Amino acid sequence: MTEGYDSIIEYMRGIGARLEFDRRYPGRKMVEQIAISDKIIRFKAIIPMDDGSIELFQCYRVQHSDTLGPYKGGTRLHPTVNMEEVKALATLMTLKTALAGVPFGGAKGGICVDPRKISVNELERLIRKYTHRLLPEIGPNVDIPAPDVNSGEREMAWMYDEYRKSRESARGVVTGKPLELGGSHGRREATGMGVSIVLLHTLRDLNIHKPTVAIEGFGAVGSHAALDLHGKGLKVVAVSDSKGCVFNPAGLDIVELDAYRASGGTVTGFAGGESIGSIHDADADVFIPCALGLSVNESNVGRVRAKLIVEGANAPVTMEAEKTLTARGVAVVPDILANAGGVIVSYYEWAQNREGLYWDLETVRSRLYNTITEAYTSVTRHAREHGVTMREAAYRLAMDRIARAMAARGAQ
């Protein structure tokens, strides 16, 4: 689950009022133009199972805005996926691409399924059916899916292959593909590395030295963030996944933990740390939630000890919880900045697919560093100049860019 769609829209309305959109764009209803989704797609996928039975799966794709470029957003596989969540995530994606300065709009897709409870063959049939039903709606210049929770290179390969059966130009239809199918170096770890880059900038600006770090979620985002931070000498003292949490006040050996997780599928039982009840109870200076949304909420915000929270997941800190944290002097780096590394390198992959010219890993990482650093600098400068939180600064910059683009296009 993630922050409620209505809460995000209400927050955007407040930003629009403070930016004086009604005065600057009279009669345009600019906030509503930015906030309301362009298209909502919902359908069922009927899949034959391995035992000969039939199962139905609810599927979604929300195309939120293409003002700044083709729709762009991940495909989430989770049993809690629902329309309100997908709408909220698509809205956040629009803001994220605008803030990062990549030429995309925002979208999000999802299938209500627990991929751990079906076979690989069943999952492939489901992904292919989902893609086939979306053929009229997606394309390299229209809407470009990507990985999200419980989806990755394998699922993107299936989507690409299903799409190419019916379209001549297919390579750029999805990002996050395997290298063999036109994927980009650095895409797999891009979101986690972006989190790491933003955190290191923030630590410098807040004058926090030698912090301890706790990371919720050890999947595609959390593991790569942990590995990068560990490699740069930061002490990661706690890591959790869906099955438990391990803690070591002297610091976890993240390389060994990553190998242990790869062999057993979980961080629990790792000999280099002790088990604790919840990541929220870990004594650490920095907390990086990289799992699902709503991780820090009104019920547990009082337990969070961190001085700084960097949102690796989408909307892991509720807006009500953030008010409490802000009053306590805890800084929160918002998701639309902190986890933008994935869509930035997705843009690089898309551009490489279009050019037919591919970059090495060093080039990708250098460009990622420059792009996300530029976004970070813009947000922190705006926050400082206007006396607002980093979240408000990020939303203001993103919404202003979208509004200016809409106005430049004239009456619609």
Q: How far apart are CA 240 and CA 42, in angstroms?
A: 33
CATH of domain 37-170: 3.40.50.10860
CA angle 185, 63, 48 (to 5 degrees): 80
Q: How far apart are CA 107 and CA 143, in angstroms?
A: 8
Active site (catalytic) residues: 108
> What's the confidence (pLDDT) of residue 172?
94
The separation between CA 66 and the C-alpha centre of its own chain, rounded to angstroms, equals 18
Answer whether 37-170 and 190-338 agree in fold: yes
Terminal Cα-to-Cα distance of the chain (whole angstroms): 34
Domain boundaries, given as residue ranges, for the chain:
37-170, 190-338
Strand stretches in 32-126, DSSP E:
39-48, 54-65, 71-78, 106-112
> What's the confidence (pLDDT) of residue 391?
97
Choose the CATH number for 190-338 among 3.60.15.10, 3.40.190.10, 3.40.50.720, 3.40.50.150.
Answer: 3.40.50.720
Q: Give, for all 412 residues of the chain, the pLDDT tens digit.
A: 566 889 999 999 999 999 999 999 998 999 999 999 999 999 999 999 999 999 999 999 999 999 999 999 999 999 999 999 999 999 999 999 999 999 999 999 999 999 999 999 999 999 999 999 999 999 999 999 999 999 999 999 999 999 999 998 888 999 999 999 999 999 999 999 999 999 999 999 999 999 999 999 999 999 999 999 999 999 999 999 989 999 999 999 999 999 999 998 899 999 999 999 899 989 999 999 999 888 999 999 999 999 999 999 999 999 999 999 999 999 999 999 999 999 999 999 999 999 999 999 999 999 999 999 999 999 999 999 999 999 999 999 999 999 999 999 886 5
**Closest Cα to residue 369, out of 231, 211, 200, 224?**
200
